[in-house]
Chains A and B, each alone.
Chain A
Amino acid sequence: MEAQEIYSRLERQFAGQVSDFKGEVKEPYLTVAADAIVAVCCFLRDDADLRFEVLSDLTALDWPKEEKIQVVYHFFSYSRNHQIVLKVDLPRDNPKIATVESVWKVANWLEREVYDLFGVIFEGHSDLRRIMLPEDWVGYPLRKDYVEQEEYDGISTQRAPLVEKLLR
């Protein structure tokens, strides 16, 4: 199914909660309201014509100028061989969204990674802990304004440039 058709189906089903369809780009995407995400995901998976069996990827983008964090979902359907991208805009100072773990199990780890590196809270998640970084790490590294802490556990995270070291 073409992305345009997928969008119009979603628009009929979830009037007012899906918007901003971009069809002329490489991977067509649309924007979904944050509180509708679980319902939209269930619909995408279970609808007989859509059948998005897999959540290929779940990640986020940080846009400090627009004061928002975008959570990006990539879906793919093996049986129908089509794809769609959903984006959800969240406020940057308090990014919170419901988990889609109940729809696809893979969301568990993908959401943990987004939580770890972007600081997005996935409400209802069964095990929301940091995954790449230590539990007591400060800050969310993939945000654009991230500044590394100077030391962690007494170990410096900075290194003098090699040339300076040689000159000393």
Chain B
Amino acid sequence: MVLRFVVKTDGEVISEAIPDVGYLHRSIEKIGEKVTWHGYVPYTDRADYLAAMFANQGFCMAAERLAGTEVARRGEFCRVIACELNRIASHLLAVGTFGQDIGAMTPFVHALRERETINNLMEEICGARLTYNYIRIGGVGYDIFPETCSRIAEFLDHFEPIVDEFNRLLSGNKIFIERLAGVAVITKEDALSYNLVGPNLRGSGIKWDIRRDIPYSIYPELDFEVPVGSGHIGKLGDSYDRYWVRICEMRESVKILRQCLKMMPKGPAIAKVPRKFKPAAGECYARVEAPRGDMGFYVVADGSEYPYRVRIRTGSYTAMSIIDKLSKGLMIADLVALIGSLDVDAPEIDR
């Protein structure tokens, strides 16, 4: 990770930890003004390469809403399947590296092993393992084959017991719990004031998920829970709660995937969209629930072939800004736990 902190300490105790970001700034927002609407989709991959599917979806949703494009129904299912697989992969990396940061090496290897299987499935779906460029305006690039569907179902059957194994290995581990329970508590007020989103917000006990509360795509038809932190080990909103929400979300994603595979209709995976895509002048703000929370695409069109402005609001950026406040009084080793529990992702901060 490309993160830098300027830390002032008194012995082991931190008095100030100022994040220094910008090392991965690739001016993705400026590039948006220079390429066509269709041409921008691959660039959104790079905004968050651990969860590229969501950035694809966010931008495409914004473009579709601006132009009034109807998305192919099978395409919506393909989107949700790809996104939820991507969410599991991203959360696996988050909890795996989190364990590693705390000093548990083995769970990291287990998590990456499962993530590898997902990457293989993704390669089968869209031909890429990280930067997918799968979701297009109007649907998805390629349909998902029935063989791939059955392989996804196989993986889900295999993966559910793995979560239990993971819990036995890491979540219930005494050292792990001692390191996290009650550490770096984020109160509800702080979570709102700093606009934390996704698992970090839900870890503080606020039940808010865009998939449920501002429904998009086919999520209203699906049945799933929104896990929130309860402070069952330490205090509400501590590092353990944020970790636990991610573990629970993986199970929910499995549930969603099973339903999608069952409900998937036949038909085209992409709607007819003109190659010269020119939405009328206007603006729109599309939100998707990415693994790191609410990802907002504020897109302004001026009626030309190029977006006038693309703004990407990401969850890691705001999560990063709260670290300075929370780190006061923490031990240096706990700073690592705090950063890991927020699951900040450097490319997503800098864009």
Measured between alpha carbons, how far is A110 from B311 in the docked complex, in Å? Answer: 12
Question: Which residues of chain B have C-beta atoms less than 8 A from A74's C-beta?
Answer: 285, 296, 298
User: What is the distance, in angstroms, from A96's C-beta to the closest C-beta of chain B?
Assistant: 21
If A108-B321, A133-B25 touch, whether A27 touches B309 (CB-CB below 8 Å) is no
Q: Which residues of A contact B300 (CB under 8 A)?
A: 61
Q: Give the residues from 34 to 81 in chain A that come closer than 8 angstroms, CB to CB, to chain B.
A: 53-57, 59, 61-62, 72, 74, 78, 81
Contact B27 A105 (CB under 8 A): no
A141 at interface, CB cutoff 8 A: yes
Dominant SS at the B interface? mixed
0/1 per residue, B262-296, Cβ < 8 Å to A? 00000000000000000000111100000000101
B29, B194, B313: the one within 8 Å of A56 (CB)? B313
Cβ-based interface call for A109 (8 A): yes
Cross-chain contact B29 with A25 (CB below 8 angstroms): no
Q: Please indicate the chain B residues that have their CB under 8 angstroms from the CB of A104 in the complex.
A: 193-195
Task: Please give, as numbers and ranges, the residues of chain A lying within 8 Å of B208 by CB-CB distance.
Answer: 78
Confirm or deny: A142 has a beta carbon within 8 angstroms of a beta carbon on chain B: yes
With A26-B65, A141-B27 as contacts: A132 and B350 at CB distance below 8 Å: yes
A97 lies within 8 A of chain B by Cβ: no
Q: Are A27's CB and B284's CB within 8 A? A: yes
Residue of A nearest to B309 (CB): A61
Question: Among the listed A27, A105, A131, A142, which residue makes an inter-chain contact with B283, where contact means beta carbons less than 8 Å apart?
Answer: A27
Q: Tell whether A32 is near chain B: CB-to-CB under 8 Å.
A: no
Shortest Cβ gap from A103 to chain B (Å): 9
Cβ B206 vs Cβ A72 within 8 A:
no
**Contact yes or no, B21 A25, CB < 8 A:** no
Task: Give the nearest-CB partner of B308 in chain A.
Answer: A61
Q: Check B296 against A56 for contact (C-beta < 8 Å).
A: yes
Q: Is A120 an interface residue (CB 8 A)?
A: no
Let me know if A106 is at the binding interface, CB within 8 A. Answer: yes
- Contact in complex: B193, A26 (CB < 8 Å): no
Asked if A85 is at the interface of the complex by the 8 Å CB criterion, the answer is yes
Chain A 117-149: CB-based contact to B (< 8 A → 1; otherwise 0): 100000000000011111000000110000000
Question: Who on chain B is nearest to A81 by CB?
Answer: B213
B62 CB, min distance to chain A CBs, angstroms: 9
> Residue B285 contacts which of A57, A78, A108, A141 (CB distance < 8 angstroms)?
A57
Give the A-B pair count, Cβ closer than 8 A: 80
- Contact present for B321 and A106 (CB under 8 Å): yes
Q: Report yes or no: A105 in contact with B193, Cβ–Cβ below 8 A.
A: yes
Interface contact B193-A59, CB-CB below 8 Å = no
B21, B311, B313, B350: which has the most chain A beta carbons within 10 Å? B311
Give the distance in Å from the alpha carbon of A27 to the alpha carbon of B350 in the complex: 26
Number of interface residues of B (CB under 8 A): 36
Shortest CB-to-CB span from B46 to chain A, Å, is: 15
| C-alpha gap A56/B195 in the complex (Å) | 7
* B22 CB-CB contact with A under 8 Å: yes
In the bound complex, CA of A105 to CA of B322 (Å): 9
**Distance (Å) between the CB of A41 and the closest chain B CB?**
12
With A26-B65, A109-B317 known as contacts, the answer to whether A54 contacts B22 (CB < 8 A) is no
**Residues of A contacting B21 in the complex (Cβ-Cβ under 8 angstroms):** 131-132
Q: Which residues of A contact B22 (CB under 8 A)?
A: 130-134
**Bound-state Cα–Cα, A78 to B308, Å:** 30
The answer, yes or no, to whether B318 is at the interface (CB within 8 Å) is: yes
Say yes or no: is B30 at the interface (Cβ < 8 Å to chain A).
yes
Which residues of B have CB within 8 Å of A108? 321
Q: Is the CB of A57 within 8 A of B296?
A: yes
Contact B194 A105 (CB under 8 A): yes
**Are A25 and B313 interface neighbours, CB within 8 A?**
no
Report B13-36 CB contacts with A as 1/0, cut-off 8 Å: 000000001100101011000000
Residue of B nearest to A146 (CB): B30
Complex Cα gap A113–B321 (Å):
12
What's the minimum C-beta distance from B26 to chain A, rounded to whole angstroms? 10
On chain B, the residues within 8 Å of A55 by CB distance are 195
- How distant is the Cα of A85 from the Cα of B282 in the complex, in angstroms? 14
**Chain A residues in 8 Å Cβ range of B190:** 105
Given contacts A26-B66, A81-B214, A109-B318, 6 further A-B contacts (CB under 8 A): A54-B192, A78-B208, A78-B213, A106-B318, A108-B321, A109-B321
Binding site for B on A (CB under 8 A): 25-27, 53-57, 59, 61-62, 72, 74, 78, 81, 85, 104-106, 108-110, 113, 117, 130-134, 141-142
18 contacting pairs across A/B (C-beta < 8 A) = A25-B284, A26-B66, A26-B285, A56-B195, A57-B285, A57-B311, A61-B309, A78-B192, A81-B213, A81-B214, A105-B194, A105-B322, A106-B195, A109-B317, A109-B318, A109-B321, A141-B27, A142-B30
